[in-house]
Structure 1
Amino acid sequence: MSIYSFERLIKKYSNTFTVEKVSEGFYDDETGEYMPGTSEVLELRGMIAPMKSQQIYNSGGRLTEADRVLYVFEPLEIKTKIQYKGMTYSVEAAEDYSDFADFHYYILKAVSAFNAETQ
């Protein structure tokens, strides 16, 4: 149980975005047959916000103004692809606030502004 609830605040400023969850293929141990990976596209809601200038400055050039932060209730894996407003982002880092809050915080690295719908 978390100490602080941010549910109302995050829902108030949340947007819909698309998440592509991909699982890698593997070889079945019993048959030796290759089992292809799967891809699942989900629509989630969360608050996507611009990076603070201080975060960009402190990153030493790793982060830019095109990158974003995401506050969401569902856990995501690193390298998950997110599509939002014609941009594709990759989940680069996560901060664990589960001991005292009810949300997950992720840094989204801008991947591409082109063909975001087809990637």
Structure 2
Amino acid sequence: MKGRTVLKSSIGAALLCLPLITSAHARPAEEMGQRPTPPRTTGRPADPIAVTDTCGLRMAVRYSGTSATPKVREALVASVAHNRVRWIRPGTAITQDYRPDRLNIILDEDGRVMTMRCG
């Protein structure tokens, strides 16, 4: 019976200290003389298109999966409101310069729009 009493009193003492422990951690870091820790992020935005649309990607994304016929190309350029569009077929040599205002349209072997990105 004595062992149970010690156990109960140990648990009771621990429970009494719990508010003291949590209140020390609940104070802002500035009060404790520390710098606040920035929140952790995954490094990726939730919606990459919404963060920085420097090339008209939001307006062009509706053409994904379509054939890049002259009519579709003309409509896509009109929807992004600029002509800095690069059509890239498989095996096409392209420059590696990064231009955030340029829209890169990546096509498959059949000339369908597979994906697109700024740059």
TM-score after normalising by structure 1: 0.22
Bigger helix fraction:
2
More strand by share: 1
